[in-house]
């Protein structure tokens, strides 16, 4: 599978992530946290949130060069470096720490119906997370940065390599059309972390792509990630599948016989469960 190629839909950051997707939606919101399963085709049109207006498209930056591997002592972590039961939400190849007001969106591959990406949204900004297998002896981020730069250039955008909290990163700007017909550049920030036999890609959008203060809550999410690579042999850059969160078991009814309601042992509503699956809608093409 190509790392940044998709047959039918392009990512908003200008590179794609998987072959073919379906459109599915699943929502559940309680206690300020929600989960949404959705994939939708993205193409030309109005500029999205965080677009920066410019006079016209600029020249593409040169391919990125090698960089020193980041210090992972404060995360992201490998599953061998943290306890199995640490309160993080298990999502297959990733485990995430919850945040107040955090929303999760899952991208599902059409052909296999497997989860290929999770997007974490906080306060109007978002970061898309994907994890891939990597060689045992070397990382892949140095090489992938050059591929991203070439892909952005092919779409008429610009890309700048710069140091960041996770090491070398890329800030790309793709030309988009605003509602009044003018040209703007929409910023997208690419972060990569090489771990033991895995590679984590984080793509920031919205204000978090270009504003350090807006990015900080999502950077904390990325730093708290635990990657579950697993023991199976995998080809380099092969996607490590994710999984939807499992519904938590419901508590047994109260045995006291006290009627449900305020002050009773049994409440008239379900316990708050921010990860419970809701109604699902699938679009058939």
Whether the full predicted model's pTM is greater than 0.85, yes or no, is: no
Please confirm whether the linkage preceding 76 is cis (ω < 30° from 0): yes
Flag the least confident range among 39-43, 74-78, 144-148, 172-176. Answer: 39-43
Write out the residue range of the structural domain in which residue 142 sits: 1-43+79-246
pLDDT score at 167: 93
Answer with the residue of higher pLDDT: 222 or 50: 222
Query: Is residue 159 domain-resident?
Result: yes
Tell me the C-alpha distance between 174 and 52, whole Å.
10
Query: Is residue 240 domain-resident?
Result: yes
pLDDT score at 183: 85
pLDDT score at 199: 96
Provide the token pair at 88: 């993080």
pLDDT score at 83: 87
- Does residue 42 register a pLDDT over 70? no
pLDDT score at 116: 93
- Does residue 108 register a pLDDT over 70? yes
Query: Is residue 15 domain-resident?
Result: yes
Query: Is residue 176 domain-resident?
Result: yes
Helices (H), 74-211: 141-154
- Does residue 9 register a pLDDT over 50? no
Tell me the C-alpha distance between 250 and 234, whole Å.
37
Number of C-beta neighbours around residue 143 at 10 A: 14
Q: How confident is the model at residue 134 (pLDDT cuts 50, 70, 90)?
A: very high
Answer with the residue of higher pLDDT: 285 or 200: 200
Query: Is residue 257 domain-resident?
Result: no
DSSP label at residue 239? B
Considering the chain, what is the average pLDDT of its residues? 73
DSSP label at residue 92? B
Stretch 20-46: mean pLDDT, rounded? 41
pLDDT score at 137: 84
Query: Is residue 184 domain-resident?
Result: yes
Q: How confident is the model at residue 71 (pLDDT cuts 50, 70, 90)?
A: confident
pLDDT score at 247: 67
Stretch 181-189: mean pLDDT, rounded? 90
Total tally of structural domains belonging to the chain: 1
Query: Is residue 35 domain-resident?
Result: yes
Flag the least confident range among 155-164, 215-224, 259-268. Answer: 259-268
Query: Is residue 221 domain-resident?
Result: yes
From the list 105, 93, 111, the residue with the least C-alpha distance to 11 is: 105
Stretch 102-113: mean pLDDT, rounded? 91
Quick check: 172 and 64 in contact, CB under 8 A? no
Provide the token pair at 195: 């771990």
In the chain, what percentage of residues exceed pLDDT 90?
A: 47
In the chain, what percentage of residues exceed pLDDT 70?
A: 62
Q: If phi over 0 gives left and psi between -120 and 50 gives alpha, with beta otherwise, what is residue 153?
A: alpha
Report the alpha-carbon angle 37-218-210, nearest 5: 110
């Amino acid at each position: 599978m190509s790392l940044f190629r998709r047959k039918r839909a392009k990512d908003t950051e200008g590179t794609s992530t998987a072959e073919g997707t379906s459109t599915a939606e699943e929502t559940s919101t309680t206690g300020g946290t929600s989960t949404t399963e959705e994939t939708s085709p993205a193409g030309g049109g109005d500029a999205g949130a965080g677009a920066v207006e410019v006079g016209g498209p600029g020249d593409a930056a040169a391919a990125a060069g090698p960089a020193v591997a980041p210090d992972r002592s404060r995360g992201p972590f490998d599953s061998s470096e943290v306890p199995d039961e640490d309160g993080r939400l298990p999502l297959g190849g990733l485990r995430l720490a919850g945040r107040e007001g955090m929303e999760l969106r899952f991208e599902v591959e059409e052909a296999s119906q497997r989860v290929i990406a999770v997007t974490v949204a906080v306060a109007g900004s978002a970061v898309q997370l994907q994890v891939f297998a990597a060689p045992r002896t070397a990382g892949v981020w140095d090489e992938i940065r050059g591929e991203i730069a070439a892909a952005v250039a092919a779409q008429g955008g610009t890309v700048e390599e710069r140091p960041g909290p996770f090491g070398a990163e890329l800030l790309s700007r793709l030309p988009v059309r605003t509602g009044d017909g003018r040209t703007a550049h929409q910023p997208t920030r690419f972060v990569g972390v090489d771990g033991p036999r895995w590679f984590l890609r984080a793509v920031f959008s919205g204000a978090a792509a270009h504003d350090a203060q807006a990015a900080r809550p999502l950077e904390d999410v990325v730093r708290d990630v635990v990657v579950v690579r697993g023991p199976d042999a995998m080809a380099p850059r092969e996607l490590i599948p994710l999984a939807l969160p499992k519904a938590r078991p419901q508590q047994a009814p109260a045995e006291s016989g006290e009627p449900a309601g305020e002050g009773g042992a049994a409440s008239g509503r379900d316990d708050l469960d921010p990860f419970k699956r809701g109604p699902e809608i699938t679009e058939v093409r």
